[in-house]
Each structure stands twice: as C-alpha cells, then as structure tokens.
Chain A
Amino acid sequence: MPLAPPVRVEAAGCITALGDARATHAALLRGEVALRPLPVLGADGGEAVPLALAPGRGFDETAPPNWFPFVRELMATLPGEGWGSARRPVFVTSSNFGVGSLYAYRRHGDAAHLAFGTPSTCVDWLAGALGWGANVTTVSHACVSAHLGLLLATRALHAGFAERALVFSFDFISPFVSGGFHALKILNSGFPSPYADRPTGSIGLGDGAAYAVLTAEQGDFAIEAQSLYNEMHHFTSNRADGVGFATCLEPLRQATQGRRLWLKGHGTGTLEAGRLESTALRDAFPEAPLVGWKGSLGHTLGSCGLVELAIACEAIRTGSAPGTIGGANPSFQSTVALDPLDTRATDGVVCASNAFGGAHAAFLLGHA
C-alpha cells in the first residue's frame, strides 16, 4: 500500500474517564489508573471487571444516551464550523456507535432506545444534534476504526475533495461490549498489565471520544505516514509468526530511518498479542521506547487510535509522554517503558492499533 502524503493536524481533542486531553495526559503522567471494578452487566450484575467510565456516567443506557453530554462537551472545543458540508466532510468512526441502546431495548423493551441503536440512526442523530451537514462518512472496523477515518480524510484532502476534514470517533462502553469481551474471557477480574510477561492476560474497557481536524497546511503537528494491513487469519488471534504486525510497520520503518522515535503501542493487556506486538515494534524500531496507556484508560475500542493521538499531541507539546500504566517487569521486551518519557529529544511517535480479524494500523505523528 503506497504511503499517503503527510497531512497536518490543526486541532485534536479527546475525552476519557480522566477528563479532556490535557487532564488525561497529566493524570497518566502521575500514573493514575481510571479503571474501576464494576459489574460486567451493569444493573444485571455479574463479575466485577475493570471499566473506566466517563466521570459520573451510569453504565446502564438511557434514552437519549447518557454519553451525549460528554460528546457535546468535547465538541464545544472543536474549532471551525460548517462541518459535514461539501468541502468540510466529517469522518465518523466507532466500533460501538449506540449499540448499548439496542441492548437496553432488548433487555427492557423501551422503544425509545431504538432511535440510537444502529450505526446509521445513531450517527444521523449525532449529526443533527451537533449541527453537521450530511457529508458524513461512517467507518466501522472494530478497534482500528479511527485509523481508517484518518486515512480516508487524508486522501480526501489530497484529492481535492476537502479543504478541511473532521475525524470524530466515539465509543462509550455498555453491557453489550463488556459482556462480549467477558465471554471471550479476556475481560476478567484482573486488571490489565500491558506487555507484562505474566500467567494470565486481562484487558480493561473505557469510554473515549476524540476528534482531529486535518488540513493540508495548518497545524503544529503532522501525520507523516499511515499504514494498514489485514491478516484475515483468525477472528480473535494473530498469526503466530507476527507477520501481520511486521507487515503493517514496515512502510513506517522505511519512512523513519535515522529518526529518533518513541512508540505508543496498542497494549491492551492480552498476552499473545502483547508479545507479538512488542516484538515487532522492537524489531522495526530497536532503539525506540514503547509505552501503552490502556492499563489506565482501558481499551477505548474503535476510538483508541484517535483518543491516543490527542494524548500523544499533548505529550509532544509538553515534552513528556506517560509511561506504560499498569505495566510491570518482567516485560516482553526491554524496550517497554514503565515510566514517563522525555520526548524533547525525539522526532516523532509511531502510534499503533490492532483489531479483530488481524487488522493492523499505524501512523507516524510529529511536529509539522
């Protein structure tokens, strides 16, 4: 896949269980863990598992969705106007959309939830509530969704279909998704310890929403290269030789030779994927320290790529990147950094995400 030309990030923001991008970045630097043990099925109970909900949000869905105030708060910081018009397209990405509403409808029978339950009804409602026009492309590829939105927006800009593009992603967890990951046994009573070589793997799940405004020529940050690869080997595992990770990283490795990098990995806390990912990143970028933030924020699913981009921008802006929260020695690789990094001596960060189906995505973010 030929690399997309660079694109500028004019603005980026996010909201997590720890607050906005600045507050989240600061809390991560302090090593705060947002995850809390909560019943996997909310009011219906079940095992306590690590979940990181937006502050004050209930886990059981309401109609309209109880996550919308957080989206509205985030989008109040979005610069510009005219989003969703012909030359200011919006690229919405998510893995969950409003599926928690569909769960609530099936459990309790209140038809009011149906207006938010499918991706298209949910995005149409959001577009109306946020004042967007109808030029909204909606992408859903599980946990690499946000990366796909960034790449499509980049291409639309460079092809002349957009003067500015908004990429917006949101994933607010619900018993629908926590029940699914719990059934897969990777969401359990343990807390995630990304890249730690330990007997049992565990993930956490977290609320997250984020945006990035992409332009050709404005903004302090640039996405200099983007890469995708889909193994299509197994729904929930990767090829054991790690070729999927390596194939996705190779174009970035070639594009960054001689540069001083740090790495923000996917790092959910699963064992095999953590071992494969950290090994592939070490092989591609032997000198670069690796961090991951899902041990605090939980996995923000389809939005993780954009949430973590906003935090990475803060890290570059302040010169300090949070370490691998929840990580522990021994790690799979010596390159895993448990403590915060000084980013002032680096030229950029490679941000990577993975998803069901052996989907891989990565981009290089740096100063413009």
Chain B
Amino acid sequence: MRLFFSAMLERYLQALSVEDFGLEEPSATRERLKDRFPRGATRRMTQLGMLIGAALDELDPRAEDAVVYASSYAETRALESYLDSFPAASPTLFQTSIHPSAVQQALITRQHPVSEFFPITGRAHLVAHAVQAALLSPVSRVLLCGGEERGTWLLEQKVASERTYAFALALGSEPTGAIARVGLAAVAADWPAQRFMLTEFCDALRARQPVDLVAAPGLRFSLAWL
C-alpha cells in the first residue's frame, strides 16, 4: 500500500469530442445525427443516447477500453415520459430511463462489449469523482464521457439540466500524440474543495482551458493542455 497523501494519478488526453447544442430539441438531434447510427436505430434512442453515441464514436471504442460516464440527471426525457405513462407503465421507457442508458444505447447499437463501465452521478464534485474512477482503472485506455439533456417539466422544478451537451475523452497512459495531461493528486484535508460542475468541465474542454483546483475533498484535479 502506498503512503497516504502521496497518491498521484495521471493520464494523457489522446482524443476529444464535444457536442454542445444548448436548447436543441430531441427531434432536431435525431434528424442531425440519424446518419451516424445504423438505419432505424435513432427511433429508439434518447437525445442523450444519440449525443453520447456520437461523441464516443469519434473515439473508436475498443472492447478492452474502460468506460466512465458522468451525468447529474441522465435520461431526463425518458424519465419524464415514463412517469407520465402511469398507470400503464411503459416497459421501453422504464428500461431507457435508467442512469447508464445513454452509453448502453450507444454501445448496444454497435454490439460493442466493454469490460469496465462505471456510470457515476452527483453534482458539485461529480467531475472529480468521475476523473478518479477513470484514472484508477488499470486498463490501458479509458473513455471518459458525460453529458445531459434539457428537461421539460422536471426542468421547471429545477431538477433537470438546462443544457443539452455531451463529451468524450480518450485517456491513455502514453504522452505520445497527447493534447492534454489529466492529473489527480491527493491533497491534505484542510485544502478547501470547490464546486466544479459537469457543465464547467464541458466548457473547459470545448475552449481548451486549463483546470487546476481541489475539485472534491482531498482531490486536486488538473487539466493541462500540451
């Protein structure tokens, strides 16, 4: 066991895909992305499933990859529709409303198995904990993806995302060809942790802004562009 307070993990960002469409409606996303998926597949996919699928596709997933998925609200539209289907509950909406559904839609459409798949949720420290899950994985390449879809009646109650977006990063262990370095270090408990939301992470990725902050208690997260 390593000494506490000396823990440090690092990976290299080898490829990046960011899809940020703000207020786009699912029908528009479906029309825009339908050619990216097998014929007819998007009829059964959620907006977030299509966006995550498109983002992951850019990274050419491999069976030996690990996948970490971060989302605060995940399948908001399917959840809303499922709740509205009662008392005749919809079996299709039930299964697509679960948290990991977006990644499963994307990979099932491609019949693409993976060994590790960690769907993570949260808010203030979600990014730090998702990055930790990614950097703790022993496999050679980790795909870290995330996103949200804009809600309707749940958004009116402030329990859904206002924005629709998705991103995916390929994190390898070698610096060759890397565009950024992602690090996570254990720091003392008295370093104050800051909120760092998934939208802020997406914005940093899109604008290629560096990040260096204590993003959860005891966890210093850094993103340095090369």
| Cβ-defined contact, B216 with A134, below 8 A | yes
* Chain A positions 215-255 with a Cβ under 8 Å from a chain B Cβ: 216-217, 228-236, 244, 247
Check B86–A102 contact: CB distance below 8 A: no
Chain B 108-132 interface 0/1 with A at a Cβ cutoff of 8 Å (1 = within): 1011111111111111111001001
The answer on a CB contact under 8 Å between B100 and A141 is yes
Determine, out of B18-26, B133-141, B165-173, the stretch whose residues face the partner at the interface. B133-141
Q: Does the CB pair A86–B104 fall under 8 Å?
A: no
* A359:B117 contact, CB within 8 angstroms: yes
A232-B125 contact, Cβ under 8 Å, with A160-B7, A184-B94: no
Number of interface residues, chain A, beta carbon within 8 A: 72
**A139 interface hit (Cβ, 8 Å):** yes
Chain B residues 1 to 25 lying within 8 A of chain A, measured CB to CB, are 1-7, 9
**B198-226 interface mask toward A, CB cutoff 8 Å, 1 = contact, 0 = none?**
00000000000000000011110000000
Residue of B nearest to A357 (CB): B104
Query: Which residues of the other chain, A, contact B99 by a CB distance below 8 angstroms?
Result: 95, 119, 140-142
Bound complex: CA of A244 vs CA of B89, how far in Å? Answer: 29
What CA separation (Å) do A258 and B200 show in the bound complex?
52
Scoring A residues 321 to 357 as 1 if CB is less than 8 Å from chain B, else 0, what string do you get? Answer: 0000000000000000000000000000000000011
Q: CA of A228 to CA of B123 in the docked complex: distance in angstroms?
A: 26
A152 CB contacts on chain B under 8 angstroms: 118, 132-133, 136
Choose from B91, B119, B216 the contact partner of A135 (Cβ within 8 Å).
B216
Contacting A at CB under 8 A, from B132-171, are: 132-133, 136-139, 157, 159
Residue numbers in A under 8 Å from B179 (CB-CB) = none
The answer to the question of A76 belonging to the interface, with a C-beta cut-off of 8 Å to chain B, is no
Q: Does A60 contact B (CB under 8 A)?
A: no
Encoded as 1 (CB less than 8 Å from any B CB) or 0, chain A from 75 to 99 comes to 0000000001111010000010000
Q: Hey, what's the 0/1 contact readout for A182-220 against B, CB within 8 Å counting as 1?
A: 111100000000000000000000000000000011000
Q: Chain B interface residue count: which class?
A: 35 or more
Q: Is A148 an interface residue (CB 8 A)?
A: yes
8 Å CB contact of B217 from A1, A134, A138:
A134
Bound CA span A95–B4, Å = 32
Number of A-B contacts (CB under 8 A): 198
Chain A, range 126-160, C-beta contacts under 8 Å to B: 133-142, 148, 152, 155-160
In the complex, which of the residues A4, A87, A157, A184 contacts B1, with contact meaning CB atoms closer than 8 Å?
A157
| Complex CA–CA separation, A138 to B69 (angstroms) | 12
Do A135 and B157 touch (CB < 8 A)? Answer: no
User: Is A111 interfacial (CB 8 A cutoff)?
Assistant: yes
Supposing A138-B122, A161-B7 touch, asked if A184 and B108 sit within 8 A by C-beta, the answer is: no
Instruction: Check B72 against A84 for contact (C-beta < 8 Å).
Output: no
Would you call A160 and B121 a contact (CB within 8 A)?
A: no
**A236→B1 CA distance, assembly (Å):** 40
Q: Which of A102, A141, A163, A358 contacts B83, CB < 8 Å?
A: A102
A123 B186 Cβ-Cβ under 8 A = no
Give chain A residues whose Cβ lies under 8 Å from the Cβ of B100. 140-142, 356-357
Q: Given A134-B125, A134-B193, A137-B132: A160 and B1 within 8 A (CB)?
A: yes
Contacts known (A139-B120, A140-B99); A160 close to B2, Cβ less than 8 A? yes
Q: A85-B217, A134-B217, A357-B100 are in contact. Are A183 and B89 (CB under 8 A)?
A: yes
0/1 per residue, B82-114, Cβ < 8 Å to A? 111011111100111011100010011011111
Q: List 8 A-B contacts (CB under 8 A).
A: A41-B86, A87-B4, A135-B125, A141-B99, A156-B136, A179-B86, A182-B89, A217-B1
Taking Cβ atoms with an 8 Å cutoff, the residues of B that contact A are 1-7, 9, 66, 72-73, 79, 82-84, 86-91, 94-96, 98-100, 104, 107-108, 110-126, 129, 132-133, 136-139, 157, 159, 186-189, 193, 216-219
Besides A106-B83, A138-B126, 8 more A-B contacts (Cβ < 8 Å) are A1-B115, A87-B4, A124-B123, A141-B119, A142-B100, A152-B132, A228-B117, A356-B95
